[in-house]
Amino acid sequence: MLRVSRLADYASVVMACLARHPGEVLPAVQVGAEIQLEAPTVSKLLKRLAQAGLVESFRGAAGGYRLARSAKDISLAEIVEALDGPIGLTECSLGHAGCERQPYCAVSRDWQGIGAAIDNALRGVSLADMLRRQPARVHAARV
């Protein structure tokens, strides 16, 4: 089965939370509370996203994180790559040369095309697009 890692999935949720607060600096604890994820997991994700240049971190009493760019300028591919590395289904779809089977492989070009299609699909969805597609939150009725 093809799938992104759980951490990459969670990273998209973290990024969506930050995007719902444009320009605000949010502490990791607040992000975790809003998305119902443990603070250590959120901190780990935010550090990786900061290393990838997708979020900015601020120290001090009013410290925390915010998006490094507008949500419309951050693609889902960038978020996945920040956690999982380059997007590719097979080694040859990542463009790695030197596969000993390459001279005999009848399917590498197809895998490369499929990998490129998935990469393009992920690059074609921005964080802002993901927010627009979110269903309205269902609130529990108060009794």
**How confident is the model over 19-60, as pLDDT tens digits?**
999 999 999 999 999 999 999 999 999 999 999 999 999 998
Tell me, rounded to whole angstroms, the distance of Cα 103 from its chain centroid: 35
Residue stretches of the chain with pLDDT short of 50: 138-143
- Residue 80 and residue 8 in contact, taking contact as beta carbons nearer than 8 Å: yes
- pLDDT recorded at residue 128: 96
- pLDDT recorded at residue 141: 42
Does residue 102 lie within any of the structural domains?
A: no
| CATH for 28 | 1.10.10.10
- pLDDT recorded at residue 78: 97
Domain with 41 in it = 6-86+126-132
Does residue 116 lie within any of the structural domains?
A: no
Domain count, the chain: 1
Residue 71, C-beta contacts closer than 8 angstroms, at least 6 positions apart: 15, 19, 22, 126, 127, 128, 131
Tell me, rounded to whole angstroms, the distance of Cα 102 from its chain centroid: 31
Does residue 58 lie within any of the structural domains?
A: yes
Does residue 35 lie within any of the structural domains?
A: yes
- pLDDT recorded at residue 24: 94
Does residue 55 lie within any of the structural domains?
A: yes
Does residue 59 lie within any of the structural domains?
A: yes
